[in-house]
Structure 1
């Protein structure tokens, strides 16, 4: 009884649906299919299948390709044995600075560069090879291209992307669930569900826990739009976010393959697509339609207010992330720097190069955001 009471309270039609609409209006019939909350149970088996597909792509395609491109699979070399530095590393800090760094130099009669190099190598012992990171990036690139093409197919032959008010015509009981919409939504949901689990086995990022939170929020918001049949506007949002992710992952692939010019071009295209899609199209077409077209055509209801709030927060984040892109591109322009995946690698390699690191996180995918971090490095000769 308690479970039934909670279910009735949680799925209250006054919150979820427009006025004069009930869940009975969205029940499946022989003539029409609609999104059902029970469909979301399939996320879990789909995510397992998607993860298996990822393993096959990485091992049977990405790794052999990486080897042909001469991408290094050599693990990082450990530093020389040193009792003093080992103790500092384990009990005090993994990156000494200031007076502590100078004190270690005097104690060991080493230069600052030698001490810093030792700590860099120590931090890098457990970091994966470039081939492992290349394989992960290949998988993400293939997935983003695939779901973006699925999104294009979803709106092909319609004017929804340009006349966004069409997304609300007949909402919700006259907008049917097609097989393409079903698979598009479930592919996105399965991807982020698998990401939550795979993060514990993938390359460890500096933003590990924020990414877990982000993936969970993304799943919740995409599932939210599915449950209330906002598939048209939800699909449009996911497709436009997938576009810039393609350029981001593509630029990483070029970087790992040592095609620096193409990597730089990919980063520039990412910045351009990000600004056009998320700072122009998203607010002036999508958000405008959600705020005004939905109000005029459908009318206001509580879950619509919630949806508006979430998308407004997303747009604020777009502006915030764009500031990092501008700084990164300016740094790249001034220094002719190289593009690195800063979340995968710390400020280090075992070389004698000094690096200037600028981290920027670019997020936004689906009805929530997805996170990617890139670093622009300026290499100096010492």
Structure 2
């Protein structure tokens, strides 16, 4: 088992990474817990909920299962209330512990429920997608979406532990694997040029979910994110670089409707767009932007954004959380492995959109389920 430690003012906790980790969830259950609230969705439940329940029951605690509708479209206030309805109906108290079994949507919404139920209870992340294992389950960001923007209502709230079972990735659809790999290569682009090159060299093995390659990718991604989060828990400085590609990505998700593209697909495309903007705004060599485009395409993510119309693109980006005093602030690259957060002139943003938005039938502007 590989263990990565996260150390923040909001909490210290382990990320445990191993095949078969799902059978050892009782290890993370605190002795004074009352009810364990297993939050999941029907897709994940059909595969893993019984096994997770059995593992949690080894702690001797009562287990309550709550299933939420599946998909980004349900990451909203109404679905959040289903968790509260279930917990209140069963008289769950302040020593109840929420266990989030699922991908990024389940982790975000269950974590937010933990942050606000009775003003805060404990929770455990059990991520079941590659994207959630390398990104959304680590660092304590929890939220639900608002029709105007993604993750606009949420809290920074750290889990007790992140339990990563690498075996569960074998049931992922190829599209989900590609979406997760987008977040993996992001870490190389912003923090570790050698890791980016390793991803280029091992992209075939990663897409095939070869165990050694995947284990290294998850562990290195978690190490890099743990380092950033430990330095800046609440995104007042360094942590903002983790949003590379996300300003464009959130516009794609909001513009198309949440759930049309997977989050990682939008991030992959958004990184291509941010890389092109970096060429003019921060001096990234074009050859490095081309490397990002090539690797995003190699992992199976779109490299052209949808034609929302430039005005709509700018409107959605203007509404992003990273906008300050009316200025859209982008995470851009002066060189591979280094990121900065900076505004960019609108003419340069428009130029980047011109280069990266599909305008012909042959451009890769859609994804195939």
- Pick the structure with greater CA Rg: 1
- Relative contact order, higher structure (CA 8 A, sep 6+): 1
Higher fraction of helix: 1
TM-score grouping bracket, smaller chain normalisation = under 0.3
